[in-house]
Amino acid sequence: MPERFDFAVVGSGAAGSAVAARLFEGGSRVLLVERGQRARVLPDAAEAVSRYYAHGGLAASIGNCLLPIPTGSVLGGTTTINSGTCLRTPREALVRWERSGSGIFRAGSFETYLDQAWERLRVRRAPEETASASSRLFLNGLERLGIPGGHLLERSESGCVGSGRCCFVCPKGAKLSADKAFLESLQGRPGFDLALGTSLEAVRKEPSGVLIRLREPGGKRREVSCKALVLSCGALASPYFVRRFRLGPNFRLAGKGLSLHPASKVFALFAEPLRGWTGVPQGAGLLDPEDSRVRYEGVFVPPELAALTMPLEGLRLRWWMERYDRAASFGAMIKDRSRGSLGYPLGPEFPVPRYDMLREDFSLMLRGMLFLGRVFFAAGACRVVLPLNRPPNEFSSPEELAAADLSRVRPADLQMMAFHPLGTCGMGRVADENLRLCEGVYVCDGSVVCESLGVNPQITIYAFALRLGDHLLGRRAP
C-alpha cells in the first residue's frame, strides 16, 4: 500500500520549500522530495561546485553560443548556491500577465505574496561595510562619470559578515536560502517528511489523486499517494516530467520558451591590493540608465575558480592570476528576447538546452561590457579585460577601449553564463493561471515565469509558491 500524504512536492528550491512550508503550516501532511543532500560548508569553492551544482557545474546550453547554466542540486536548490539578491518582479510584467490572462492572475494579489516572501526572507539592503572592493569601485566609477542610480542591492540574509562565498554555501549560515527560511522550523515535526537523496521516477493520475513512485538512496523504491503533486524541479528539469508523463493538455509545449537572462563579466586591474574575495560579491547594482534591458550587478569569483572564468590562456592568464589580489570584476545581465528549448536525450538528469542568441541581445551584451569597462577605467583601473574569447579583449586605457573594433565579434566569442533559466512551463501556456497542469498535478518553479524578468527571479518564484500554497489550501487570494 502506498503511503498517504495530502501533498507531495518534488524539489526543495525556492518554490518547493515555500509551497511545502505553506501547505504544512496550513494543516496538511506534506512530503518534500529532494534529489540532492544537505549542504555542508566546504573550504574549497571548487569542491562545493562539484558537490552541490547540478552536473558538477558543467551544464550548458548549446546553440550559437556556449552558455553554462549553474543551478543547485542540493537541499534549498539554487538558493543554496546563489547570491541571495532579491529584486521584486517588475510591475509592468505583472500587469502584462494579468492582461494576457483570463482574470485568475491578479497583479495586486501577487504583490501581496511578494511582500510575504520579502518578510519571510528578511530582505534588507546589503550593509555598506560588507560591500566588496568591486562594488565600491563600481559605485565610485559611476560617481566620477556622473551616472546616477548605482545602489547597494537588497538581499535575503541575517548576520552577513561579507565572507564572499554566497555561491559556494554561506560559511556563516547567514544567507537565508529556501531551506533556512522555510524548512528549518518544520523538520522533525509530525506530518512533514523531507526525503533527501530521493528522485521522482513515475507519476500516475488516479481517481483519488496522484500516485508517485520515488527512488530512495540505495535504490529502494517508495510509493506515495497524495491529493496533489507539485513539481518544483526547476526550469531545466520540470519539463521532463511534464512531457514524460503527459501532464496536461499542453504537455508538448513543455521545455519551449526558455529564457536565460545571459550574463557576462568584466575584469579590471588596479594598482593597489583589493582582496576582492572579501565582502558580498553581489552587493551593488545598477539598471542601465539608457536601456532598462541591461542590468549590472556585482560578481567576484574566488581565486581557486577564477582562472576558468577569465577569457585568457597561457602566459597571459598566468600574468592576470598572479595579480588577482588586485583584480575587480562586475557583471552585466541582459533581459533577453531570445528563446531556447530543452531536450532530454538521456533522461531528466541530462537536460540539453538549445539557445540561439538574437542579434539584439548580443548587441546589448556588447554595450554592457563596454559600459563596465568605462566605469572601471573611471574608477582608476589600469587594465580591463572584456569577456571575449579573442582579441581585442584586453585594454589599457579608456581611449583604447572606446576605439575597440568589435564588428567581427560573434555570440560564440562571448564568455557568458546564465543564472536565471525561466519559462519552460510558462503560466498560461503549459500550466494554467493557477499553475495547474492537470487534475491534481501542479508545477511551480522558475519554469512558470513566462518571460525574461530582467531581474534576479528568486522573489518572484517564492511569491508564485506562496500563492499556489494558498490556492491548494482553498484559501481566497488576498
- Alpha carbon dihedral 50, 52, 55, 57, in 10-degree steps, equals -60
Residue nearer to another protein on the CB measure, 82 or 447: 82
Residue nearer to another protein on the CB measure, 85 or 116: 85
Contact indicator for 385, 267 with CB cutoff of 8 Å = yes
Q: 385 has which bridge partners?
A: 267, 394
Contact indicator for 23, 183 with CB cutoff of 8 Å = no
Q: Which of 17, 71, 80, 452 binds another protein (CB under 8 A)?
A: 80
Per DSSP, the residues of 15-26 read HHHHHHHHHHHT
**In the sheet where 256-258 sits, what is the strand order?**
67-68, 60-63, 352-355, 340-343, 256-258
Q: How far is the CB of 393 from another protein (least distance, A)?
A: 9
Residue nearer to another protein on the CB measure, 66 or 366: 66
Q: How far is the CB of 146 from another protein (least distance, A)?
A: 34
DSSP type of residue 297:
E
Contact indicator for 247, 334 with CB cutoff of 8 Å = no
- Asked if residue 325 binds another protein (CB under 8 A), the reply is yes
Residue nearer to another protein on the CB measure, 313 or 439: 313
Q: Which of 109, 112, 158, 389 binds another protein (CB under 8 A)?
A: 389
Q: How far is the CB of 363 from another protein (least distance, A)?
A: 18
Contact indicator for 47, 41 with CB cutoff of 8 Å = no
Distance CA 21, CA 183 (A): 6
Q: How far is the CB of 257 from another protein (least distance, A)?
A: 22
Answer positive or negative: Cα dihedral of 7, 12, 14, 18: positive
Residue nearer to another protein on the CB measure, 368 or 411: 411
Residue nearer to another protein on the CB measure, 112 or 389: 389
Residue nearer to another protein on the CB measure, 325 or 400: 325
Q: How far is the CB of 478 from another protein (least distance, A)?
A: 32
Distance CA 143, CA 180 (A): 37
Distance CA 200, CA 53 (A): 19
Q: How far is the CB of 253 from another protein (least distance, A)?
A: 26
Distance CA 121, CA 157 (A): 7
Q: Binding string, 243-282, against another protein, x = CB under 8 A?
A: ------------------------------x-x-x-----
Q: 191 has which bridge partners?
A: none
Residue nearer to another protein on the CB measure, 165 or 374: 165
Distance CA 285, CA 135 (A): 8
Dig out the grid coordinates for 323 from the structure: 595579480
Q: Which of residues 32-71 bind another protein (CB under 8 A)?
A: 38-44, 46-47, 50-51, 55-58, 60, 62-63, 66, 68
Could you tell me which stretch among 27-35, 228-236, 316-324, 366-374 binds another protein (CB under 8 A)? Answer: 316-324
Residue that the C-alpha cell 541582459 belongs to: 334
Distance CA 117, CA 113 (A): 6
Residue nearer to another protein on the CB measure, 129 or 322: 322
Q: How far is the CB of 237 from another protein (least distance, A)?
A: 16
Residues sharing a CB contact under 8 Å with residue 226, sequence separation 6 or more, in sequence order: 4, 5, 6, 7, 8, 31, 209, 210, 212, 440
Q: Which of 317, 352, 358, 477 binds another protein (CB under 8 A)?
A: 317
Please count the helices (runs of H) and the strands (runs of E) in the chain: 12, 23
- Asked if residue 457 binds another protein (CB under 8 A), the reply is no
DSSP E strands in 23-170: the ranges are 30-34, 60-63, 67-68, 123-125, 151-152, 154-156
Q: How far is the CB of 121 from another protein (least distance, A)?
A: 16
Nearest to 398 by CA among 425, 440, 370, 363: 370
Dig out the grid coordinates for 128 from the structure: 555598506
Contact indicator for 401, 407 with CB cutoff of 8 Å = no
Q: How far is the CB of 246 from another protein (least distance, A)?
A: 28
- Asked if residue 366 binds another protein (CB under 8 A), the reply is no
How many residues line the site for another protein (CB under 8 A)?
57
Q: Which backbone phi and psi does 225 adopt, to 5 degrees? A: -115, 145
Q: How far is the CB of 67 from another protein (least distance, A)?
A: 10
Q: Which of 104, 107, 202, 321 binds another protein (CB under 8 A)?
A: 321
Q: How far is the CB of 318 from another protein (least distance, A)?
A: 4
Q: Which of 402, 410, 439, 475 binds another protein (CB under 8 A)?
A: 410
| Omega of the bond leading into 207 within 30 degrees of 0 (cis) | no
Q: How far is the CB of 68 from another protein (least distance, A)?
A: 8
Dig out the grid coordinates for 273 from the structure: 591590493
Q: Binding string, 276-315, against another protein, x = CB under 8 A?
A: -x------------------------xxxxxxx--xxxxx
Distance CA 21, CA 30 (A): 9
- Asked if residue 390 binds another protein (CB under 8 A), the reply is yes
Q: Which of residues 146-185 bind another protein (CB under 8 A)?
A: 163, 165, 169-173, 177, 180
Note the residues at the interface with another protein (CB under 8 A): 38-44, 46-47, 50-51, 55-58, 60, 62-63, 66, 68, 76, 80, 163, 165, 169-173, 177, 180, 273, 275, 277, 302-308, 311-315, 317-318, 321-322, 324-325, 389-390, 410, 412-413
